[in-house]
Structure formats: C-alpha cells, structure tokens
Structure 1
C-alpha cells in the first residue's frame, strides 16, 4: 500500500496567514473532519492525505505554518518547498486581511529565483475564514475579491467551524497546482531545457 502511494503525484500546499486566523482549524477540518477551537500556536505541522481530484488520485502534503513574526525567518524555507499557497485571513479581523499582501510579497520574493515560479503565476488562493461570524465581519466580500483579482488569484470564503467551502479551498488549489505543473512541464519540453534538481 505504501509503494502504491509513492507512485501517486504529490502536491505540496502551504498554509500562510497571520496568527489566529484559523489555518490549523482549516487544515484539521480538511484532514479529519474535526473542528478544533482551542489549538496551540503552530510552529509548523505537516499532514499528508490521499485524495481524488476530478477522478484522478493524488497526494496532498499540507504544511501548516506559524503566523507569528518570530518564525518569519524559518518561513522562507517552507515557502521554497511549496507548490501552492492558501493565504488565509479572518473576516472578523481587519489587520489579518491587511497582512495578506505582506505574505504574498514574501512568497513571490522567495520563489523569484525558483524554477517552479517562472513563466506563469504562482498557485495562490486568497481565503477569508470565519464566514460564520457574519455579525463580526470587518472585511467585505467585494474588497477581498478586488484584492484577489489584483493578484490574478481566486477568492474563497470559508468556515472551519461549519465546514463551509473548506474542501473547495483545498481542491480548487490542487487544480491550480496541477494546471501550473502541466503548463510548466510543456514549456520545459518546448524550450528543451533541462530540469534542475533541488536538494531540500
């Protein structure tokens, strides 16, 4: 069974966002169907799961990173290994939305010299979490949509608590990653370039 899994395509997803926006809650809801309200601040946790995207089996590797500034230096290393990013903010916390631009800039800076980021857009989805707290909303859907459009990325509102759009966020990102990889592979073939080996 283990050998079979190894043969499946593996897609590496990085959870990014300020502390307390629900990155871990989203990850655990997707992985295990559980809502964990009281969760210790994350340093970095990795999860792997076999999924089926549009009838094709693959593996998703999710790295849940810390939002706290203390871990910013470590975060660069995680970003280099990522193939797709869910940039998460809390709809009930304005500051976390403001920080999304900083996180995206950091991702693009780290990946600037990385082969996987060249030629087309880095797979990113902007995620507004805690949509169940409608009465505490501080960021409108229109404003978040505008930011995502500027990034040429999709925007999804989720609730880790009610499960709303949790699977959609991960599966939509997997589709973007697959498209990005296919496009990158065809451009590499066309240019006749040799693929580089990266030792992590």
Structure 2
C-alpha cells in the first residue's frame, strides 16, 4: 500500500465535525482510475501509465456548504476478483466503477463488479456511479452515448463521460457520489465502518 498527498487550494469554512466516507474506485487495469483520482485531487494528469498497487487518499471536500472527508481507495485492476477487492468493498460506502470509452470490453466487466458489490453489501441500496474515461479520444471510441444511456436505465445507476487529460466532468463524478452517500447515510457512516487515517488534502 502506497500513500500519497494531494492538495488543491481553497478555503475551508468552519462547520460541524465533518463525516467520513470511504469511496472505492474499481475497474479493469489501464482504464484510467488513477488518472481520474489524481485529476480530482491534484488537478494534474498522469501522462504515463503506472499500474497501481492499491493507494489511499484522504480528501476534505466542501460541497453544498457542508464539509466531508472522503477516503478514496484507488485499487489495482480487477481482471480477477480477489479477497483483497472483497475486503475493500466491505469497507466502502460508495463506489466509482470505471471503464474506458475506447474499450467496450472494460464496460462489460463492470457488470460482474456491480453484482459483487450488491452481493457483499447485501442489497442494491448502495451509492454507485459509473464512469467512462478518455472521452477526448473520439477517434478511438467503442462505447456510444446511447449504449451508456440504455445501460444506465437497466442498471438504474448514473453514468458519466470524463476526460482526466482535459479535466472534463471529473469533479461531477465525486460530488454526485458524495451527495448519494450523504443521502444514504444521513446520520453519518454506520458503526463499524471506521477507517484508518490517511494523508489529507483539501478540495473545494
């Protein structure tokens, strides 16, 4: 497990004690999970692919006048579902499922991950957003917006198209998930879901 520090400038207003929510980022290797997280946290783009060995970040977020802590777990590719991935799902309160718009096969893999989340969490009332990356690579695209819309209806989940390279729609992904976690857990994370303290950064 590697630790990294992310920071983005901005003022954090005084408020009540912020709630902590664990978010797990899952998807096949090479789809851009780390690039998505780094664009959100540092507002930078990872130009070279570096296969992630699970990293965790703690991000302080100010959204709708309320402050929250996001513990973001950036996982390695899940071509083979392992006990490690299951342990992360058990810890997670919200999930970002990532595929590449340039590789249709990576979208198909998410259905298995989604079903595993429902199985492990004991139901479908789980905050999840689905993210298609690399939307700037229009000439290499294999997944159409129409296909995503149809799947969004079938899965009853929100879908986003993003580009970590261009910074398109990245913040919307995490803001939407945070809103869903707050709604799902209005009194804060359930007992027994406490997480370890990680390096902190601030996001507005």
TM over 0.5: yes
Q: 2:145 maps to which residue?
A: 141
Contact 1:91 1:138 in 2 (8 A): yes
* Inter-partner Cα distance in structure 1 for 2:107 and 2:194: 34
| Consecutive unaligned residues in structure 2, runs of 5 or more | 1-13, 196-204
* Inter-partner Cα distance in structure 2 for 1:196 and 1:181: 11
Q: How does 1:35-74 map to 2 (within 5 A)?
A: 35-69=45-79, 72-74=82-84
1:5–1:12 CA distance, 2 compared to 1 (3 A): farther
Q: 1:24 maps to which residue?
A: 34
TM-score norm. by structure 1 comes to 0.83
SS of residue in 1 equivalent to 2:25 = strand
* Equivalent residue pairs, number: 181
Report the Cα offset of residue 72 of structure 1.
2.2
* Inter-partner Cα distance in structure 2 for 1:6 and 1:16: 31
Contact 1:43 1:71 in 2 (8 A): no
Report the Cα offset of residue 6 of structure 1.
10
Cα deviations across residues 33-92 of structure 1 (Å, max 9, x unaligned)?
110021321121000111111111111110001114356221000000111111010000
Contact 2:128 2:157 in 1 (8 A): yes
Confirm or deny that 1:91 pairs with 2:101: yes
Structure 1: 4+ residue segments shifted above 4 A: none
Structure with a larger share of its residues in helix: 1
Report the Cα offset of residue 198 of structure 1.
5.7
* Inter-partner Cα distance in structure 2 for 1:199 and 1:30: 23
Q: 2:160 maps to which residue?
A: 156
1:198–1:133 CA distance, 2 compared to 1 (3 A): closer
Q: How does 1:114-125 map to 2 (within 5 A)?
A: 121-125=125-129
Contact 1:13 1:82 in 2 (8 A): yes
- 2:18 pairs, out of 8, 18, 38, with 8
Give RMSD over aligned pairs: 2.3
| Consecutive unaligned residues in structure 1, runs of 5 or more | 186-194
Confirm or deny that 1:177 pairs with 2:173: no
TM-score norm. by structure 2 comes to 0.82
